[in-house]
Structure 1
Amino acid sequence: MPSPPPHPLDHGVVLAEVRKVRRAGVVRLRELALPALVEAARELPRGDGELPGGPVEKVLRLAVSRMGGGTLQTAAEYSLGLAQGTRDWPAADRRRRAAQVYGVSVERFRKHHEFMVLGQVAEQIVQGADHRAGHDGAGHDRAAAVPAAGPGPARAPRDRVPAAHRALRVRVHRRTVPVTVHVHSVDLLRDIDVVVSPSNTYFALPAPYKSSVAATLRRAGARRDPTGGLVEDRVHDELGAWAARHGAPGRAALPGTVAVTSAGALAGQGIRRIYHVAVAVPRPETNDYDVQPADITRGVARVFALLAEEARRCDPPPRSVCLPLLGAGRGGLTPLESFGALWTAVEAELARGADWDIHFVVRRHARADLLERLLAAVGEE
């Protein structure tokens, strides 16, 4: 009987090992304990000769080669010591050169870009291992996805229904903080002081029948009569009034600007405020827009500054904030890029000792699984 394919690799475990390689460099690969990368190397076809770092170096080089070129791939090559002539460079020199690829400071690269770059390397390793081992995109064995013939009910691919609320403990700067991941539509949130909503730089809300986070919050915040007729489009009206007060109607605000409204009818669910973060920059004469990770980080940092202001003058003060993956829909960012931009601001706030209750909200369990792996990995370095 053929042996079953190996268990799919865990992205968080692989990312932790890739970060370990970044610190040591490929010149010291044989000294490191890297069980996940060794497992990925077992599935590689045998080639001619061997790289100095053995099969693990081959896994890393193959993963980086699949990143599509450009700044992402170049920064990965410098970060890991895979670029020509850099395998024996100290970690600080490799990080400095990778930061130059993006044209940012070393500290900014460390806090934001590096997490994204190494996360993409880990993603390529996991995807490559899944493909070679015969796992499907959800991380299940392809053979196991087909029910066996014979009597009895087909078994579900999971032993339990995935939780809609995942309470995690995350290590941040020598302390452990609670983080909750909600896996459902944003309008089902309960008892959270501030919900963050993505906006374009004109603070123009989408039509309420659409499915985006902003449209869902607009729809849920509206007041209706007993027959369902619209009585007051509260969130939309308040956001327009905010723009008028701040001289912004009809012109674009700077990316990262945050407008505050009430939660409208969502107050009945314990939601007190909606913070609208301008991250989407419309392209002229098109229906498209661009989202930059730096604007997300700037906007979320502003969210925490406004939270602190409200905490000083409100009774009771706000304590909790919920963040969607800004820009990971039509904004064009991957969930990994969005999380990296969000977490840069969240981590900076927590590092200074802030005691906010942090929540994330996503609609799909696959994204919640990714968030759980990423949050497990952030305390590794």
Structure 2
Amino acid sequence: MAHPFPLPDYGALLAEVRMVRRAGVVGLRSLPTPGLSGIVERRPPGALQAHPATVEELLRTAVSGIGGGTLQTAAEYSLGLAGGTRDWPAADRRRRAAQVYGVSVERFRKHHELMVLGQIVERILLIAAPPTTGTALADRLGTGEEGGRAAPSELAPSHRTLTPLVHGRHVTVTVHIHSVDLLRDVDVVVSPSNTYFVLPAPFKSSVAATLRRAGARKDPTGGLVEDCVHDELRGWAARNGMPGRAALPGTVAPTSAGALGEQGLRRIYHAAVAVPRPDSNDYDVRPAVVTRSVAAAFALLARESAGEDPPLLSICLPLLGSGRGGLTPLESFGALWPAVEAELARGAPWEIHFVVRGHAHADLVERLLAGPAERTYR
């Protein structure tokens, strides 16, 4: 049976939930929440009516469906649903939610909070969907009704080829949906770095740590023989008078790809987009620095390509600054695309690739590049 009304837009619901976070549930009556109220109004007979209390119950149902743990606790504090927090100011609720994760308030605001609110919205969408649609939606969101993994009906492709229209001509953009160390036959991959060009420990999960780990040479038992990417980057810093001092944000340092050369990767461009915050483990990333870094990477690519045989032609970009840097994926792509578009608009020969971890981010990239575009999948 067809759904009698279209499911609300994820982004619109997220904006409403963020308003609730700022005002708290005590301020629901004064908030414009057409998406949340619409879900309540369209529920079957006998369900809650459309007034603030029913929207509150919708939020409580969504939060309780998260399934417990730190995520649910942080969600309850964020919206003022935890016992005794209804009238807490937004700053106090955010501070308490940050304590749940053991991070600074600023770190929570830039990273964890968006994830927490996003999970609430996903549960709301599951509530809004009828049983048949809800199952499909749970598959797409990766959650079952009890918070477990739902079995997907089919495996989604790990690569998408898009052909957006850029300044009057179609260009090819490839989106890779997997870990960066699975890239094959791409000449250059851009890796986010801090302004000191100090790589993270290889056991971590960031793009920079993954490239360091994958680029290292190991013996047959997996023991480290040569930490290629780390050693080359440290050598570059020493040659340029960098040890112990920070580079200007936006600086790009090149190294080889180390052992990743066996997969067809030839260069890694380390882009200094993250400025360490004093006396903390956090970083600041400004969108303007991301744009400047990508432009610098293309300039370096043009210089190096001329001296290589065969020339360097393809470059792959992650969503710079969208990890610990605190940028949302939308902010990151919005910052790096102008530099990419400028290169494509002038007719540069580069083959453009993006690498993202999940299909939600790939959907975002595809949606942002949509318009008079043709898409093919492989």
TM-score by length of 2: 0.63
Deviation of the 1:157 alpha carbon = 7.2
Deviation per CA, 1:49-91, whole angstroms, max 9, x where unpaired?
xxxxxxxxxxxxxxxxxxxxxxxxxxxxxxxxxxxxxxxxxxx
Please name the residue that 1:63 is paired with: none
Deviation of the 1:11 alpha carbon = 7.5
Deviation of the 1:143 alpha carbon = 8.9
* Structure 1 residue corresponding to 2:315, chosen from 321, 326, 331: 321
Please name the residue that 2:235 is paired with: 241
Deviation of the 1:310 alpha carbon = 1.4
2:7 and 2:125 in contact (8 A); partners too: no
Please name the residue that 1:309 is paired with: 303
**Which has the higher mean CA deviation after the structures are superposed, 370-379 or 201-210?**
370-379
Structure 1 counterpart of 2:264, one-letter code: G
1:224 and 1:230 in contact (8 A); partners too: yes
2:175 and 2:356 in contact (8 A); partners too: yes
Where do 1:350-369 residues align within 5 Å? 350-369=344-363
Please name the residue that 1:141 is paired with: 134
Please name the residue that 1:4 is paired with: 3
Deviation of the 1:354 alpha carbon = 1.1
Structure 1 counterpart SS, 2:221: coil
Deviation of the 1:142 alpha carbon = 6.7
Please name the residue that 1:336 is paired with: 330
Deviation per CA, 1:5-51, whole angstroms, max 9, x where unpaired?
54446789x9xxxxxxxxxxxxxxxxxxxxxxxx97994899xxxxx
RMSD across aligned C-alpha pairs, in angstroms? 3.4
Please name the residue that 1:94 is paired with: none
**Distance between the aligned counterparts of 2:372 and 2:126, measured in 1?**
28
**Distance between the aligned counterparts of 1:189 and 1:180, measured in 2?**
12
Establish whether residue 187 from structure 1 lines up as the match of residue 181 from structure 2: yes
1:191 and 1:269 in contact (8 A); partners too: yes
TM-score by length of 1: 0.63
**Which has the higher mean CA deviation after the structures are superposed, 360-369 or 260-269?**
360-369
Quick one: structure 1 residues 44 and 304, their matched pair in 2 at CA, closer, same or farther if it must change by over 3 Å? same
Q: Give the length in aligned residue pairs.
A: 266
Establish whether residue 228 from structure 1 lines up as the match of residue 228 from structure 2: no
1:193 and 1:319 in contact (8 A); partners too: yes
**Distance between the aligned counterparts of 2:231 and 2:184, measured in 1?**
23
Structure 1 counterpart of 2:284, one-letter code: D
Deviation of the 1:372 alpha carbon = 1.3
Please name the residue that 1:72 is paired with: none
Quick one: structure 1 residues 188 and 366, their matched pair in 2 at CA, closer, same or farther if it must change by over 3 Å? same
Deviation of the 1:326 alpha carbon = 0.6
Quick one: structure 1 residues 228 and 8, their matched pair in 2 at CA, closer, same or farther if it must change by over 3 Å? same
Unaligned runs of 5+ in 2: 13-33, 42-116, 374-378
**Distance between the aligned counterparts of 2:358 and 2:310, measured in 1?**
33
Please name the residue that 1:67 is paired with: none
Structure 2 counterpart of 1:233, one-letter code: D
2:126 and 2:137 in contact (8 A); partners too: no
Deviation of the 1:196 alpha carbon = 0.5
Structure 1 counterpart of 2:203, one-letter code: Y
* Structure 1 residue corresponding to 2:273, chosen from 272, 276, 279: 279
Structure 2 counterpart SS, 1:197: strand
Deviation of the 1:141 alpha carbon = 2.9
Deviation of the 1:134 alpha carbon = 4.0
Deviation per CA, 1:294-328, whole angstroms, max 9, x where unpaired?
00000000010011111222111111000000111
Quick one: structure 1 residues 368 and 270, their matched pair in 2 at CA, closer, same or farther if it must change by over 3 Å? same
The runs of at least 4 consecutive aligned structure 1 residues that moved more than 2 Å come to 2-12, 39-46, 127-136, 140-148, 156-160
Establish whether residue 349 from structure 1 lines up as the match of residue 349 from structure 2: no
**Distance between the aligned counterparts of 1:228 and 1:128, measured in 2?**
43
1:134 and 1:141 in contact (8 A); partners too: yes
Quick one: structure 1 residues 366 and 303, their matched pair in 2 at CA, closer, same or farther if it must change by over 3 Å? same
Quick one: structure 1 residues 228 and 6, their matched pair in 2 at CA, closer, same or farther if it must change by over 3 Å? same
Quick one: structure 1 residues 233 and 305, their matched pair in 2 at CA, closer, same or farther if it must change by over 3 Å? same
Please name the residue that 2:366 is paired with: 372
* Structure 1 residue corresponding to 2:190, chosen from 172, 176, 196: 196
Deviation of the 1:272 alpha carbon = 0.1
